[in-house]
Amino acid sequence: MNEQLQKLVKQADYDLQQQFAKIDLACMRNSEKVLNAFQKNKIAEVHFGSTTGYGYDDIGRDTIERVFADVLGAEDALVRTQFISGTHAITVALFAMLRPGDTMLSICGKPYDTLDSIIGFDENPSSLKAYQIQYEQIDLVENDFDIPKIVERVAQKNVKLIEIQRSRGYALRYSLTLDKIEKVIQAIRKVNQEVIIMVDNCYGEFVDEKEPVALGADIMVGSLIKNLGGGLAPNGAYIAGRKDLINLAAERLTSPGQGKEVGPTLGINKSILQGLYMAPSVVASSLKTAIFTSYMLEKLGYKVQPKFDEKRADIVQTIEFGNEEKLVKYCQGIQSGSAIDSDSVPMPWDMPGYTDKVIMAAGAFTMGSSIELSCDAPIRPPYVAFQQGALTYEYGKLGVLKAIENIL
């Protein structure tokens, strides 16, 4: 590391102390919440057991779902290894709650790219559109909800489900803080009590001290290879919220009449429980890594979002490079700074579910895990990298410094 970079790192260590102290406080409170849920549900070694086949009477699975519900402030939860990803869980939730002729309304603009085929932006015989489910959207205004327009639309009471995406996806907007989400939920409820409010909570868990269902959302969805898996869950996702909606989701995931009663855990229970136990600390490390990245890259002349001292809604940090070469080099640097596959060289490719070529750097113990240090980007102007994760701040910091050295 050159002398200039060493000085900048030393200055960062000093300047970021106040931000890190706030993260440590939230980590402590979220840790207490998790510990209380474990103790309330009397977690014991028996819950680490495994089932195969149909998975009848899996006490570990059923107890895990009660723990998640308690931690998230929900009536019930569906936490399953049968979910392949957060996108899969979102798909199950949407098809569970929407029927032909219903309307889904996104109130934060276009959702994440992987929902294109699900909604029906791309022609697909399995999309919501193919089932005559209508889609509408209301764009954000200056990185906030257009509440007057939203209230006017939902007051008509012919919208079945409202979708809120907490994180930015590949959009160049700010992620949505919980105070903004709470404000729009309260405004919606003044004119419509029946509409289902669903939050895509991916990347947002434990960033704050509450979760969207505790603020009035009916349902929320997230991935276990993101925040709540703590880097230990090998796959899976969750849906949490109202009990009646969880039952609908369970019957969509399995089959009507069986719902939550089936689903083998195949030895994953301990990993899910231990991952949740570690998640507050791992999310704190991810946030510290993102803040360190924001500080360093802005000092080096790049446009970053959010800035190091801004309030955060998720673990994602963006860096705008302005050209493809710098973007690719940064991602390659993140890969070379990883413990796994450090000798691999990621290149842009046509990835299923995306319209643009995508580069993905993730030297992860779990394939696709974005609670581990990772960085990805669609190859399109203005060439923005989306970085997230870090199991520890120390490893995150080392990886980011490797990436910075790669672009200098």
Give the model confidence (pLDDT) of 197-222 as tens digits. Answer: 999 999 999 999 999 999 999 999 99
Query: Same domain, yes or no, for 24 and 52?
Result: no
Q: What is the CATH number of the domain that holds 89?
A: 3.40.640.10
Query: Same domain, yes or no, for 400 and 297?
Result: yes
Q: Distances from the Cα of 342 to the Cαs of 54, 123, 269, 293, 357, in angstroms? A: 39, 38, 30, 20, 22
Query: Same domain, yes or no, for 212 and 338?
Result: no
Query: Same domain, yes or no, for 45 and 163?
Result: yes
Q: Which residues, listed in sequence order, are joined to residue 200 by a DSSP beta bridge?
A: 165, 221
Which of 245, 275, 305 is the C-terminal boundary of a domain? Answer: 275
Burial of 125 (0-12, 13-18, 19+ CB in 10 A): exposed
Tell me how far apart the alpha carbons of residues 203 and 53 are, in angstroms, rounded to a whole number. 32
Query: Same domain, yes or no, for 120 and 259?
Result: yes
Query: Same domain, yes or no, for 243 and 146?
Result: yes
The reported pTM is: 0.96
Query: Same domain, yes or no, for 167 and 301?
Result: no
Query: Same domain, yes or no, for 173 and 319?
Result: no
Per-residue pLDDT band for 37 (boundaries 50, 70, 90) equals very high
Unique residue bearing structure tokens 């195949």: 266
Query: Are the beta carbons of 237 and 219 closer than 8 angstroms?
Result: no
Q: Which residues, listed in sequence order, are joined to residue 223 by a DSSP beta bridge?
A: 237
Burial of 179 (0-12, 13-18, 19+ CB in 10 A): exposed
**What is the extent of the structural domain holding 303?**
3-29+280-407
Tell me how far apart the alpha carbons of residues 32 and 26 are, in angstroms, rounded to a whole number. 10
Residue 382 CB neighbour total at 10 angstroms = 11
Q: Is the pLDDT of residue 156 over 80?
A: yes
Span of 19-33, 135-149, 164-178, 292-306 with lowest mean pLDDT: 164-178
Query: Same domain, yes or no, for 245 and 286?
Result: no
Tell me how far apart the alpha carbons of residues 344 and 218 are, in angstroms, rounded to a whole number. 43
Q: What is the pLDDT of residue 101?
A: 97
Q: What is the pLDDT of residue 170?
A: 85
What is the chain's mean pLDDT, rounded? 96
Q: What is the mean pLDDT of residues 117-131?
A: 95
Domains in the chain, number: 2
Q: Distances from the Cα of 396 to the Cαs of 212, 291, 315, 360, in angstroms? A: 28, 11, 12, 16
Q: What is the pLDDT of residue 379?
A: 94
Q: Is the pLDDT of residue 169 over 90?
A: no
Query: Same domain, yes or no, for 106 and 249?
Result: yes
Per-residue pLDDT band for 319 (boundaries 50, 70, 90) equals very high
Query: Same domain, yes or no, for 312 and 249?
Result: no
Per-residue pLDDT band for 85 (boundaries 50, 70, 90) equals very high
Q: What is the pLDDT of residue 20?
A: 98
Query: Same domain, yes or no, for 212 and 126?
Result: yes
**Which string of DSSP letters, residue by residue, matches 30-61?**
HHHHHHHHHHHTT--GGGG----TT-TT-HHH
Tell me how far apart the alpha carbons of residues 161 and 104 are, in angstroms, rounded to a whole number. 5
Q: Cβ contacts of residue 373 below 8 Å, gap of 6+? A: 289, 334, 337, 338, 362, 363, 364, 387, 388, 389, 390, 391, 395, 396, 399, 400
Q: What is the pLDDT of residue 113?
A: 86
Shortest CA distance to 165 belongs to which of 235, 230, 114?
114
Q: Which residues, listed in sequence order, are joined to residue 222 by a DSSP beta bridge?
A: 238
Tell me how far apart the alpha carbons of residues 301 and 318 are, in angstroms, rounded to a whole number. 14
Tell me how far apart the alpha carbons of residues 68 and 173 are, in angstroms, rounded to a whole number. 30
Tell me how far apart the alpha carbons of residues 302 and 408 are, in angstroms, rounded to a whole number. 12
Q: Cβ contacts of residue 121 below 8 Å, gap of 6+? A: none
Q: What residue ranges in 272-333 does DSSP mark as E strands?
A: 303-305, 317-320
Per-residue pLDDT band for 405 (boundaries 50, 70, 90) equals very high
Give the helix ranges, DSSP H, for 73-165: 86-97, 116-119, 147-154
Q: What is the mean pLDDT of residues 155-165?
A: 96
Span of 20-29, 257-266, 314-323, 344-353 with lowest mean pLDDT: 344-353
Query: Are the beta carbons of 67 and 273 closer than 8 angstroms?
Result: yes
Find the distance separating the first CA and the last CA of the chain, reported in whole Å.
11
Which of 275, 308, 330 is the C-terminal boundary of a domain? Answer: 275
How many Cα neighbours within 13 Å face the side chain of 35? 8
Per-residue pLDDT band for 185 (boundaries 50, 70, 90) equals very high
Shortest CA distance to 273 belongs to which of 23, 57, 62?
62
The tokens describing 20, both together, are 């890190």
Give the DSSP H or E segment for 210.
Answer: none
Give the DSSP H or E segment for 230.
Answer: none
Which of 250, 275, 300 is the C-terminal boundary of a domain? Answer: 275
Q: What is the CATH number of the domain that holds 351?
A: 3.90.1150.60
Span of 2-16, 93-107, 194-208, 349-363 with lowest mean pLDDT: 349-363
Per-residue pLDDT band for 74 (boundaries 50, 70, 90) equals very high
Q: What is the mean pLDDT of residues 342-352?
A: 91
Per-residue pLDDT band for 1 (boundaries 50, 70, 90) equals confident
Query: Are the beta carbons of 186 and 293 closer than 8 angstroms?
Result: no
Tell me how far apart the alpha carbons of residues 9 and 299 are, in angstroms, rounded to a whole number. 11
